[in-house]
Structure 1
Amino acid sequence: MTDNPGWTSPGSSEPADGAPPQAATAAATPGPSAPSAPEATAPQAPAAQPTAPQDGPQAPAAAPQDVPPPSQWGAPGQPAYGAYGGPGYGPGPGPGWGGRPPYGGHPGWGAPPSPKPGVIPLRPLGVGELLDGSFTTVRKYWRTTLALSLGFAAFTQTVETVLRWWAQQDGGAVADLVAALVPTVLQGVLGILLGGLLTIVVSKGVLGEQITVREAWQSARSQLGRLTGLTFLTFLIIVGVFAVAAVPPVLLAISNGTGPGVLLLAMLMALIAGGVAGYLGILFSLAPPALMLERQGVLTSLSRSRRLVRGSWWRIFGVHLLTSFILGVVSTVAVLPFLLVATVFGNSGAFDQLTGDKGADLNLLGLVVIGIGSTLVATVTIPVNAAVTVLLYIDRRIRREALDIELARAAGVSVAPPTGWAGPAAPGPASPGPTVPGQSTPPGA
């Protein structure tokens, strides 16, 4: 396997959604190409058979009544009556069972199963398959994914616990500010590193390849600087949106003073800014995997994400929203026992943590117990969330650029491109399509 098989961004302009990629499809299936179907012509009359000798037995004058005439069995070169894909088999005028279209040169058979060398089948994914692939990645490659996320979560949670205990003992405003800002910045910086490494792990999992933490680091380290710049630039864009939205209320307050009108305008501009920021967040959400897997620059990755998200913004937004809801429920349920234990040890405000309120004073034992629970929860939820983003990126490239063909070739399997509905099958033998190792093949292939 090469360093980046199938991940490189196409050099030509990207096809619109639904347009079949010509070059990728042509290179999709290794092996001999299918013979072109002969032109449909009227069946010729069968050649005259040699007559029997005069002294031999004579042929019967007429065929028996229970034997269909030759026209029903099909002339030479035509499919026989009742054969797979032959006319007249099943209801409807179309070929195949029940008039279903032929697929891959096998009239009457449905689409062949998609190859699945790794955590997802190599075809456009449904929402359930995206979520299942994310959890499967964590379960199948737990040594790498959980090692990365556990190290990140344990370190950041330890720093946060120590700073919270120090702030409670100090009681000053500066200590509270440090205890709030330092863990946030630390999680942001280390989260960039973790996201880049997990992107490599998930991409290898799609191909069914194991990867160690060291190998993931060696593959990702050359792009981590650019990934940091991308994250910082995206953050500045979001902050810039709110800064621009704050200008009208500030100017109105300077000219006319504060009042109900200024408050109403500020609320309206905040809602508009929140909508714009959310739209841009989804629009640029595929930039990190594009940067890591295509070895792109910062601006190119942002543009790449914009083009991949175009036409599917609401779907990607819905997947992220559903993922956040599921992980939120899982996190709440998982951390409840730790909050209960902290309450038993004299921390009446432990359950305030569920609302994000970390201002309640907790004793050292309570902080440690809650820290352990938060670490374990983050160890599972962080890689799942990262895997969803990477699989969304792969799904969009499969839909727009037939990336599944390149991935199948990189994984050492074959995939037959769909032929779609092309009308009645042309006469002549069908060419068997390539088969997928380890999967069943329809009869006659």
Structure 2
Amino acid sequence: MVSTTLERPDKFRIGRVFNDSFAVISRNIGLYLGLALLFSGLPAIVLRLWTESTLSGTALGDPTAVADPSMMFWNSSVGIAAGLISFILSLLLQSALVRATIEDLNGKRPSFGDCIQIAIRYLLPTLGIGLLVVLGAGLASLALLVPGIILWLGWSVAIPVLIQERLGVLGSMSRSRVLTKGSRWALFGLFLILMIITMVIQSVMAAIILLLDGIVADVAAAMLSTVVSMVLSVATAVSYVELRQVKEGASVEELAEIFS
């Protein structure tokens, strides 16, 4: 397969990122759905069923125990554990899709095993970046919303930087701020459009899920989460490639050389 070398774009363009993202997904729909199901869909179903059975089991066993401090602590612990597991799995998914996206843009055929290997190899540093981004942007948002958004946008491609350039946690976050400088409004527009589309789809799905019951509703909710996670992760990876081409004129081939 002939590798892809793109001309240097004049600026970050939302339309180009959209086109490239969905083109990459369409070329690798089986692989991407498989990765999304592995790291998002199936775990979401399992976690949803586990938390529901745990919490409902506690309530059914002794309705008065719900107000007991020890039971409240247990229920909170279950919710925190489920949230942490989901957070880690979302980072694994993003790392795997970054690898797959760069391979595809380089004209290669990304493999399931290779993407999983990369995701697992960089789990700890991606977790470090994820926690720092959540804490940093979250604390800034508590003071004022706009600084929090700006910080989040500045760090939005830190995980692709980590996977591609291997700069470590702080180095990747710093590098992300350099790459996104001058393009953050465009990035904000990209993610805003994606969030609006997601909210519309979620509203429609919520109405449908209300008509469903039990495991069927859980599966439908998990499938929606899978698709949303996949699109956001791919769009982030494509945005990183776009930013490098805008800032440095780096070809896709040069981005992929790091894995040779």
**Global fold match (TM > 0.5):** yes
Distance, in Å, in 2 between the alignment partners of 1:144 and 1:198 is: 9
| Deviation per residue, 1:243-290 (Å, 9 max, x gap) | xxxxxxxxxxxxxxxxxxxxxxxxxxx4x4322211111111111111
Offset at 1:335? 4.8
Distance, in Å, in 2 between the alignment partners of 1:156 and 1:281 is: 25
Offset at 1:220? 4.2
1:131: which partner in 2? 18
| Deviation per residue, 1:392-435 (Å, 9 max, x gap) | 1111111111113745997xxxxxxxxxxxxxxxxxxxxxxxxx
- The percentage of aligned residue pairs carrying the same residue is 24
1:399: which partner in 2? 246
Distance, in Å, in 2 between the alignment partners of 1:409 and 1:145 is: 19
Distance, in Å, in 1 between the alignment partners of 2:229 and 2:252 is: 29
What amino acid maps onto 1:145 in structure 2?
A: Y
Q: How does 1:11-410 map to 2 (within 5 A)?
A: 117=4, 123-124=8-9, 126-152=13-39, 153-171=41-59, 172=66, 173-241=72-140, 270=142, 272-342=143-213, 366=214, 368-404=215-251, 406=253
| Deviation per residue, 1:144-198 (Å, 9 max, x gap) | 2111111222113312222123312323234542343222111111111111111
Alpha-carbon spacing, 1:164–1:221, altered in 2? closer, same or farther (3 Å): closer
Alpha-carbon spacing, 1:223–1:181, altered in 2? closer, same or farther (3 Å): closer
Gaps of 5+ in 1: 2-114, 243-269, 343-365, 411-445
Alpha-carbon spacing, 1:122–1:156, altered in 2? closer, same or farther (3 Å): farther
Offset at 1:240? 4.3
Distance, in Å, in 2 between the alignment partners of 1:221 and 1:179 is: 24
Distance, in Å, in 1 between the alignment partners of 2:94 and 2:102 is: 12
Alpha-carbon spacing, 1:307–1:409, altered in 2? closer, same or farther (3 Å): closer
Contact 2:161-2:167 within 8 A present in 1 as well: yes
Distance, in Å, in 2 between the alignment partners of 1:405 and 1:341 is: 45
| Deviation per residue, 1:360-381 (Å, 9 max, x gap) | xxxxxx3x12210012112222
What amino acid maps onto 2:43 in structure 1?
A: F
Contact 2:8-2:245 within 8 A present in 1 as well: yes
| Deviation per residue, 1:335-366 (Å, 9 max, x gap) | 54332123xxxxxxxxxxxxxxxxxxxxxxx3
Distance, in Å, in 1 between the alignment partners of 2:198 and 2:227 is: 9
Offset at 1:238? 3.2
Offset at 1:235? 2.7
1:347: which partner in 2? none
Offset at 1:311? 1.2
What amino acid maps onto 1:163 in structure 2?
A: T
Alpha-carbon spacing, 1:162–1:217, altered in 2? closer, same or farther (3 Å): closer
Contact 1:286-1:389 within 8 A present in 2 as well: yes
Gaps of 5+ in 2: 60-65, 67-71
TM-score by length of 1: 0.50
Distance, in Å, in 1 between the alignment partners of 2:228 and 2:54 is: 28
Contact 1:283-1:313 within 8 A present in 2 as well: yes
Offset at 1:214? 0.6
Q: Which moved more, 1:232-241 or 1:196-205?
A: 232-241
Contact 2:93-2:233 within 8 A present in 1 as well: no
SS at structure 2 position matched to 1:215: helix
Higher relative contact order (CA 8 A, sep 6+): 2
Q: Which moved more, 1:160-169 or 1:399-408?
A: 399-408
Contact 2:101-2:237 within 8 A present in 1 as well: yes
What amino acid maps onto 2:52 in structure 1?
A: R
Q: Which has the larger radius of gyration?
A: 1
Distance, in Å, in 1 between the alignment partners of 2:192 and 2:119 is: 28
Alpha-carbon spacing, 1:372–1:404, altered in 2? closer, same or farther (3 Å): same
Contact 2:98-2:160 within 8 A present in 1 as well: yes
Contact 1:137-1:202 within 8 A present in 2 as well: yes
Offset at 1:333? 2.7
Offset at 1:212? 1.7
Distance, in Å, in 2 between the alignment partners of 1:333 and 1:123 is: 39
Distance, in Å, in 1 between the alignment partners of 2:204 and 2:133 is: 32
